[in-house]
């Protein structure tokens, strides 16, 4: 009987070790690219005001000095709209996948 208890305990301990080593994987992805400041013909703006929407909800915002510059957001998987106008067009231009990097360049749409 003692042999059965030891053997059963070893099997459970081995199963626990296997379960503890399992990973569900990444739960976020990276959205990155280049953004240009939104400037009109008479206005020189040197900061890009970048907004990320999921549907009509604003989920991220960044001020990027220097005109044309790189941005990086870590987001959950889904479809997003990245804009420098502060308005969601409800036309997603980025799909974020867990564990992957998505590149979207945001041009100056205000000219």
In sequence order, what are the beta bridge partners of 73?
31
Going residue by residue through the chain, which has 111 residues, state the pLDDT in tens, using 9 for 90 and above: 444 444 444 444 444 444 455 568 889 999 999 988 877 666 667 788 889 999 889 999 998 887 668 999 999 999 999 988 877 777 789 999 999 999 999 887 776
Where on the phi/psi map is residue 11: left (φ > 0), alpha (ψ -120 to 50), or beta? alpha
Counting Cα atoms < 13 Å in the Cβ hemisphere of 11 gives 6
Residues 18, 30: Cα–Cα separation, whole Å? 30
């Amino acid at each position: 009987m003692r042999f059965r208890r030891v053997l059963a305990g070893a099997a459970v301990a081995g199963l626990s070790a296997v379960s503890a080593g399992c990973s569900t994987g990444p739960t976020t992805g990276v959205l990155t690219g280049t953004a240009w400041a939104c400037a009109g013909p008479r206005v020189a703006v040197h900061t890009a005001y970048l907004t990320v929407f999921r549907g009509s909800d604003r989920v991220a915002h960044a001020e990027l000095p220097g005109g044309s510059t790189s941005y990086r957001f870590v987001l959950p998987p889904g479809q997003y709209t990245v804009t420098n106008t502060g308005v969601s067009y409800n036309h997603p231009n980025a799909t974020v996948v867990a564990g992957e990097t998505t590149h979207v360049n945001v041009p100056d749409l205000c000219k």
